[in-house]
Copies of this chain bind each other. A is one copy, B any other.
Amino acid sequence: MIALAVDLGGSHAACAVVNGEVVLACEHIELAHAHGLMAALPALSAALQRAVVKAGVALTDCAGVAFSFCGLVDPVRRRVTSTNAKYDDAPGIDFEAWARSEFDLPLRIDNDARLALLGERQAGAATGFDDIVMVTLGTGVGGAAMMGARLVRGRHYQAGCLGGHLLARYGGRECTCGARGCIEAEASTWALPEMCREHPAFAASPLAYLPKIGFEELLRCAGGGDVCAAEVFRRCLDVWSAGVVALIHAYDPEVVIMGGGVMSAADQILPAITEYVRQRAWTPWGQVQVRRAALGNTAALLGAVPLLEDASIE
Protein backbone atom coordinates (compact mmCIF):
# COMPACT_ATOMS: atom_id res chain seq x y z
CA MET A 1 0.00 0.00 0.00
CA ILE A 2 1.26 3.48 -0.95
CA ALA A 3 0.25 6.36 1.28
CA LEU A 4 0.94 10.00 1.94
CA ALA A 5 2.22 10.69 5.43
CA VAL A 6 2.55 13.89 7.44
CA ASP A 7 4.52 13.93 10.69
CA LEU A 8 3.97 17.25 12.39
CA GLY A 9 6.52 18.37 14.96
CA GLY A 10 6.66 21.57 16.97
CA SER A 11 8.98 23.40 14.59
CA HIS A 12 8.96 21.30 11.47
CA ALA A 13 7.02 18.77 9.47
CA ALA A 14 8.00 15.74 7.43
CA CYS A 15 5.78 15.18 4.38
CA ALA A 16 6.35 11.84 2.73
CA VAL A 17 5.20 9.16 0.35
CA VAL A 18 5.57 5.71 1.86
CA ASN A 19 5.13 2.26 0.40
CA GLY A 20 4.63 -0.27 3.18
CA GLU A 21 7.87 -0.17 5.12
CA VAL A 22 9.74 2.12 2.75
CA VAL A 23 9.83 5.91 2.61
CA LEU A 24 9.82 6.62 -1.13
CA ALA A 25 10.31 10.37 -0.77
CA CYS A 26 10.27 12.87 2.06
CA GLU A 27 10.16 16.67 2.15
CA HIS A 28 11.05 18.50 5.35
CA ILE A 29 9.64 21.94 5.99
CA GLU A 30 10.11 24.46 8.78
CA LEU A 31 7.00 25.58 10.63
CA ALA A 32 6.25 27.98 13.44
CA HIS A 33 3.61 26.38 15.62
CA ALA A 34 2.81 29.77 17.12
CA HIS A 35 1.32 30.82 13.78
CA GLY A 36 -1.14 27.98 13.92
CA LEU A 37 -1.67 24.95 11.77
CA MET A 38 -4.34 26.39 9.49
CA ALA A 39 -1.78 28.83 8.08
CA ALA A 40 0.64 25.95 7.49
CA LEU A 41 -1.72 23.72 5.53
CA PRO A 42 -0.79 25.14 2.09
CA ALA A 43 2.90 24.48 2.82
CA LEU A 44 2.06 20.92 3.89
CA SER A 45 0.06 20.37 0.70
CA ALA A 46 2.87 21.73 -1.45
CA ALA A 47 5.47 19.57 0.31
CA LEU A 48 3.33 16.46 -0.14
CA GLN A 49 2.87 17.29 -3.82
CA ARG A 50 6.65 17.62 -4.21
CA ALA A 51 7.13 14.28 -2.44
CA VAL A 52 4.63 12.65 -4.81
CA VAL A 53 6.57 13.95 -7.82
CA LYS A 54 9.89 12.85 -6.31
CA ALA A 55 8.53 9.40 -5.53
CA GLY A 56 7.28 9.06 -9.09
CA VAL A 57 3.85 7.86 -8.05
CA ALA A 58 0.41 9.09 -8.99
CA LEU A 59 -2.04 10.32 -6.35
CA THR A 60 -4.47 7.74 -7.69
CA ASP A 61 -2.00 5.05 -6.56
CA CYS A 62 -2.16 6.32 -2.97
CA ALA A 63 -4.59 4.76 -0.47
CA GLY A 64 -4.88 7.84 1.70
CA VAL A 65 -3.22 10.45 3.87
CA ALA A 66 -2.01 9.55 7.38
CA PHE A 67 -1.51 12.55 9.63
CA SER A 68 0.56 12.37 12.83
CA PHE A 69 -0.35 15.10 15.32
CA CYS A 70 1.38 16.11 18.56
CA GLY A 71 -1.73 16.25 20.75
CA LEU A 72 -4.97 14.43 21.53
CA VAL A 73 -6.86 13.19 18.49
CA ASP A 74 -10.23 11.59 17.80
CA PRO A 75 -9.29 9.21 14.98
CA VAL A 76 -12.91 8.34 14.19
CA ARG A 77 -14.12 11.92 13.70
CA ARG A 78 -10.66 12.81 12.28
CA ARG A 79 -10.36 15.74 14.63
CA VAL A 80 -7.78 17.08 17.06
CA THR A 81 -9.49 17.19 20.46
CA SER A 82 -6.86 18.95 22.56
CA THR A 83 -3.49 20.58 22.10
CA ASN A 84 -0.72 21.28 24.57
CA ALA A 85 0.82 24.64 23.70
CA LYS A 86 1.38 23.65 20.06
CA TYR A 87 -0.91 24.43 17.10
CA ASP A 88 -3.76 25.53 19.32
CA ASP A 89 -6.02 26.16 16.32
CA ALA A 90 -5.87 22.49 15.31
CA PRO A 91 -9.19 21.43 16.95
CA GLY A 92 -10.98 23.71 14.48
CA ILE A 93 -9.44 22.15 11.37
CA ASP A 94 -11.36 19.75 9.13
CA PHE A 95 -8.43 17.54 8.08
CA GLU A 96 -10.64 15.20 6.12
CA ALA A 97 -11.95 18.03 3.94
CA TRP A 98 -8.40 19.28 3.43
CA ALA A 99 -7.15 15.89 2.21
CA ARG A 100 -10.19 15.45 0.01
CA SER A 101 -9.87 18.84 -1.65
CA GLU A 102 -6.07 18.78 -2.00
CA PHE A 103 -5.51 15.15 -2.98
CA ASP A 104 -8.94 13.59 -3.40
CA LEU A 105 -7.84 11.02 -0.82
CA PRO A 106 -9.32 9.76 2.43
CA LEU A 107 -7.50 10.80 5.62
CA ARG A 108 -6.71 9.28 8.96
CA ILE A 109 -5.16 11.16 11.84
CA ASP A 110 -3.83 10.07 15.20
CA ASN A 111 -1.47 11.03 17.99
CA ASP A 112 2.21 11.09 17.02
CA ALA A 113 3.40 8.54 19.59
CA ARG A 114 0.69 6.14 18.40
CA LEU A 115 1.94 6.54 14.83
CA ALA A 116 5.52 6.00 16.00
CA LEU A 117 4.45 2.79 17.77
CA LEU A 118 2.74 1.56 14.61
CA GLY A 119 5.86 2.40 12.59
CA GLU A 120 8.23 0.64 14.99
CA ARG A 121 5.95 -2.40 14.91
CA GLN A 122 5.76 -2.31 11.12
CA ALA A 123 9.46 -2.00 10.43
CA GLY A 124 11.47 -1.19 13.54
CA ALA A 125 12.20 -2.34 17.09
CA ALA A 126 8.74 -3.76 17.81
CA THR A 127 8.22 -6.09 14.87
CA GLY A 128 6.57 -9.34 15.90
CA PHE A 129 5.07 -7.93 19.11
CA ASP A 130 1.38 -7.35 19.81
CA ASP A 131 1.77 -5.88 23.31
CA ILE A 132 3.89 -2.77 23.22
CA VAL A 133 4.50 0.40 25.16
CA MET A 134 6.16 3.26 23.29
CA VAL A 135 7.83 6.13 25.15
CA THR A 136 9.27 9.15 23.37
CA LEU A 137 11.68 11.32 25.32
CA GLY A 138 11.87 14.75 23.75
CA THR A 139 10.63 18.25 24.44
CA GLY A 140 7.89 16.45 26.32
CA VAL A 141 7.41 12.76 27.05
CA GLY A 142 5.08 11.01 24.64
CA GLY A 143 3.50 7.63 25.02
CA ALA A 144 1.43 5.05 23.26
CA ALA A 145 0.34 1.52 24.05
CA MET A 146 -0.83 -1.49 22.11
CA MET A 147 -2.57 -4.45 23.74
CA GLY A 148 -3.41 -7.62 21.85
CA ALA A 149 -2.40 -6.07 18.50
CA ARG A 150 -4.79 -3.14 18.98
CA LEU A 151 -3.78 0.39 19.83
CA VAL A 152 -5.06 1.39 23.26
CA ARG A 153 -7.33 4.34 22.49
CA GLY A 154 -10.07 4.47 25.08
CA ARG A 155 -13.53 5.96 25.29
CA HIS A 156 -12.42 9.46 24.34
CA TYR A 157 -9.34 8.32 22.39
CA GLN A 158 -6.90 9.60 24.98
CA ALA A 159 -5.81 6.33 26.63
CA GLY A 160 -2.24 5.17 26.10
CA CYS A 161 -1.04 8.42 24.61
CA LEU A 162 -0.81 10.14 27.99
CA GLY A 163 2.08 7.95 29.13
CA GLY A 164 4.13 11.06 29.82
CA HIS A 165 1.30 12.28 32.01
CA LEU A 166 1.25 9.38 34.38
CA LEU A 167 2.41 10.41 37.82
CA ALA A 168 6.07 10.53 38.82
CA ARG A 169 5.77 12.56 42.04
CA TYR A 170 2.59 13.57 43.82
CA GLY A 171 2.63 17.24 44.73
CA GLY A 172 5.40 17.68 42.17
CA ARG A 173 6.00 20.20 39.39
CA GLU A 174 3.19 21.88 37.51
CA CYS A 175 2.75 20.19 34.15
CA THR A 176 1.61 21.87 30.94
CA CYS A 177 -1.31 19.43 30.89
CA GLY A 178 -2.85 20.89 34.05
CA ALA A 179 -1.81 18.09 36.40
CA ARG A 180 1.17 18.06 38.76
CA GLY A 181 4.19 15.80 39.00
CA CYS A 182 3.71 14.09 35.62
CA ILE A 183 6.67 12.12 34.26
CA GLU A 184 7.01 14.84 31.63
CA ALA A 185 7.02 17.64 34.21
CA GLU A 186 9.67 15.83 36.27
CA ALA A 187 12.05 14.85 33.45
CA SER A 188 11.82 16.26 29.93
CA THR A 189 13.61 18.82 27.80
CA TRP A 190 11.16 21.57 28.66
CA ALA A 191 11.43 20.86 32.38
CA LEU A 192 15.20 20.65 32.35
CA PRO A 193 16.26 24.33 32.68
CA GLU A 194 14.11 24.80 35.79
CA MET A 195 15.31 21.52 37.30
CA CYS A 196 18.88 22.73 36.87
CA ARG A 197 18.22 26.23 38.21
CA GLU A 198 16.66 24.76 41.35
CA HIS A 199 19.68 22.59 42.08
CA PRO A 200 21.79 24.00 44.95
CA ALA A 201 24.98 23.69 42.91
CA PHE A 202 23.58 25.47 39.84
CA ALA A 203 25.32 28.82 40.38
CA ALA A 204 28.70 27.08 40.39
CA SER A 205 27.86 24.93 37.36
CA PRO A 206 28.91 25.69 33.78
CA LEU A 207 25.21 25.18 32.98
CA ALA A 208 24.56 28.60 34.50
CA TYR A 209 26.60 30.19 31.68
CA LEU A 210 25.00 28.42 28.76
CA PRO A 211 22.44 30.19 26.58
CA LYS A 212 20.31 27.02 26.50
CA ILE A 213 20.09 23.87 28.59
CA GLY A 214 19.11 20.65 26.82
CA PHE A 215 20.13 17.07 27.43
CA GLU A 216 23.13 17.47 25.16
CA GLU A 217 24.46 20.30 27.31
CA LEU A 218 23.53 18.43 30.49
CA LEU A 219 25.41 15.30 29.46
CA ARG A 220 28.42 17.28 28.30
CA CYS A 221 28.67 19.04 31.67
CA ALA A 222 27.98 15.84 33.60
CA GLY A 223 30.74 14.13 31.61
CA GLY A 224 33.06 16.96 32.57
CA GLY A 225 32.46 16.26 36.26
CA ASP A 226 29.81 18.89 37.02
CA VAL A 227 27.82 17.82 40.09
CA CYS A 228 24.68 19.77 39.28
CA ALA A 229 24.44 18.29 35.78
CA ALA A 230 25.23 14.77 36.99
CA GLU A 231 22.62 14.88 39.74
CA VAL A 232 19.89 16.35 37.56
CA PHE A 233 20.59 13.70 34.93
CA ARG A 234 20.51 10.98 37.60
CA ARG A 235 17.14 12.31 38.70
CA CYS A 236 15.85 12.14 35.12
CA LEU A 237 16.97 8.51 34.89
CA ASP A 238 15.15 7.77 38.16
CA VAL A 239 11.95 9.37 36.86
CA TRP A 240 12.07 7.59 33.50
CA SER A 241 12.91 4.22 35.09
CA ALA A 242 10.12 4.39 37.64
CA GLY A 243 7.81 5.77 34.95
CA VAL A 244 8.54 2.85 32.64
CA VAL A 245 7.71 0.42 35.46
CA ALA A 246 4.41 2.27 35.97
CA LEU A 247 3.65 1.93 32.25
CA ILE A 248 4.47 -1.79 32.42
CA HIS A 249 2.13 -2.16 35.39
CA ALA A 250 -0.58 -0.24 33.52
CA TYR A 251 -0.45 -1.99 30.13
CA ASP A 252 1.30 -5.35 30.65
CA PRO A 253 3.48 -5.22 27.51
CA GLU A 254 6.18 -7.58 26.31
CA VAL A 255 8.39 -4.79 25.05
CA VAL A 256 8.94 -1.11 25.81
CA ILE A 257 10.32 0.98 22.94
CA MET A 258 12.21 4.13 23.91
CA GLY A 259 12.39 6.80 21.23
CA GLY A 260 12.56 10.56 20.83
CA GLY A 261 15.43 12.97 20.38
CA VAL A 262 16.83 12.52 23.89
CA MET A 263 17.50 8.88 23.02
CA SER A 264 20.45 9.94 20.87
CA ALA A 265 22.15 9.45 24.26
CA ALA A 266 20.68 5.94 24.52
CA ASP A 267 23.98 4.49 25.79
CA GLN A 268 23.65 6.61 28.90
CA ILE A 269 19.93 6.03 29.35
CA LEU A 270 18.90 2.55 28.29
CA PRO A 271 21.11 0.45 30.63
CA ALA A 272 19.80 2.25 33.73
CA ILE A 273 16.16 1.84 32.71
CA THR A 274 16.67 -1.78 31.70
CA GLU A 275 18.28 -2.65 35.01
CA TYR A 276 15.58 -0.85 37.02
CA VAL A 277 12.85 -2.68 35.11
CA ARG A 278 14.63 -5.98 35.69
CA GLN A 279 14.78 -5.36 39.42
CA ARG A 280 11.52 -3.56 40.04
CA ALA A 281 8.74 -4.45 37.60
CA TRP A 282 6.19 -6.93 38.95
CA THR A 283 6.14 -9.32 35.99
CA PRO A 284 5.99 -12.88 37.31
CA TRP A 285 5.64 -14.18 33.75
CA GLY A 286 9.17 -13.07 32.78
CA GLN A 287 11.09 -9.98 31.67
CA VAL A 288 9.80 -7.03 29.70
CA GLN A 289 12.32 -6.08 27.04
CA VAL A 290 13.37 -2.44 26.92
CA ARG A 291 14.59 -1.46 23.47
CA ARG A 292 15.75 1.62 21.68
CA ALA A 293 13.50 2.76 18.84
CA ALA A 294 15.05 1.77 15.54
CA LEU A 295 13.50 4.16 13.06
CA GLY A 296 14.30 7.60 14.44
CA ASN A 297 12.36 10.31 12.69
CA THR A 298 10.78 7.99 10.16
CA ALA A 299 8.82 5.94 12.74
CA ALA A 300 5.67 8.07 12.59
CA LEU A 301 5.83 8.15 8.77
CA LEU A 302 6.04 4.35 8.63
CA GLY A 303 2.99 4.19 10.88
CA ALA A 304 0.98 5.53 7.94
CA VAL A 305 0.10 2.22 6.30
CA PRO A 306 -0.86 0.40 9.53
CA LEU A 307 -2.99 3.41 10.53
CA LEU A 308 -4.79 3.41 7.19
CA GLU A 309 -5.30 -0.36 7.56
CA ASP A 310 -6.48 -0.20 11.18
CA ALA A 311 -9.82 -2.00 11.11
CA SER A 312 -10.84 -0.65 14.52
CA ILE A 313 -11.41 2.84 13.05
CA GLU A 314 -14.94 3.18 11.63
Instruction: Please report A residues at the B interface, Cβ cutoff 8 Å.
Output: 72, 81-82, 130-131, 147-148, 152-160, 162, 165-171, 177-181, 186, 238-239, 241-243, 245-246, 249-254, 279-285
Contacts and interface: CB of A to CB of B under 8 A. Distances in A.
Contact of A167 (B81, B153, B243, B284): B243
Contact of A242 (B72, B181, B245, B282): B181
B282 A162 contact: yes
Contact of A156 (B156, B165, B179, B283): B283
A252 B154 contact: yes
B155 A148 contact: yes
A252 B282 contact: no
A252 B156 contact: yes
A285 B168 CA distance: 24
Contact of A180 (B153, B159, B242): B242
A171 B156 CA distance: 32
Cβ-closest 4 pairs across A and B: A154-B252, A159-B252, A82-B284, A170-B242
Contact of A179 (B155, B167, B170, B280): B280
Nearest to A251: B159
Given A162-B249, A170-B238, A81 B285 contact: yes
Contacts of A279: 178
Number of copies: 2
A178 B81 CA distance: 38
Contacts of A285: 81, 156, 158
Given A158-B252, A284-B81, A169 B170 contact: yes
Interface centre among A246, A279, A281 (most CB of B within 10 A): A246
A167 B245 contact: yes
Contact of A246 (B158, B167, B171, B254): B167
A73 B202 CA distance: 49
A140 B18 CA distance: 50
Interface centre among A166, A167, A242, A251 (most CB of B within 10 A): A167
Contacts of A167: 166-168, 242-243, 245-246
A165 B186 CA distance: 19
Given A159-B252, A171-B238, A250-B250, A281 B179 contact: yes
A159 B147 contact: yes
A160 B145 CA distance: 13
Contacts of A239: 170
Nearest to A281: B179
Contacts of A246: 165-167, 246
A166 B250 contact: yes
A254 B155 contact: yes
Nearest to A148: B155
Nearest to A131: B155
Nearest to A247: B250
10 contacts: A81-B284, A147-B154, A158-B282, A160-B250, A162-B249, A165-B249, A167-B243, A167-B245, A171-B242, A250-B250
Given A156-B252, A166-B166, 15 more contacts: A81-B285, A158-B282, A158-B284, A158-B285, A165-B246, A165-B249, A166-B167, A167-B246, A168-B170, A170-B238, A178-B280, A179-B249, A179-B281, A179-B282, A246-B246
